[in-house]
Amino acid sequence: MQKQRGGNRSTDVRGKYERASLKYGRKPGAPTTDRDDDRAKSFVQKRRLNKIEKDIHKDTIRLNKYIANSGICSRREADELITQGLVLVNGKVVQEMGYQVEKTDKVVFDGQNITPEKPVYILLNKPKGYISTTKDDKARKTVMDLVSNASPYRVFPVGRLDRSTTGVILLTNDGHMTKKLTHPSFDSKKIYHVTLDKKLTNEDMRLIVEGIRLEEGIATIDQISFIEGKPKNEIGMEISIGWNRVIRRIFQRLGYEVEALDRVMFAGMTKKNIKRGHWRILTDLEVNTLKML
Query: DSSP string of 119-165?
Result: P-EEEEEEPTT-BSSS--TT---BHHHHSTTT-SS--EESS---TT-
Spot the catalytic one: 38, 136, 162, 197: 162
Q: Is 162 a catalytic residue?
A: yes
The number of CA neighbours under 13 Å toward the Cβ of 123 is 24
Which amino acids are annotated catalytic? 162
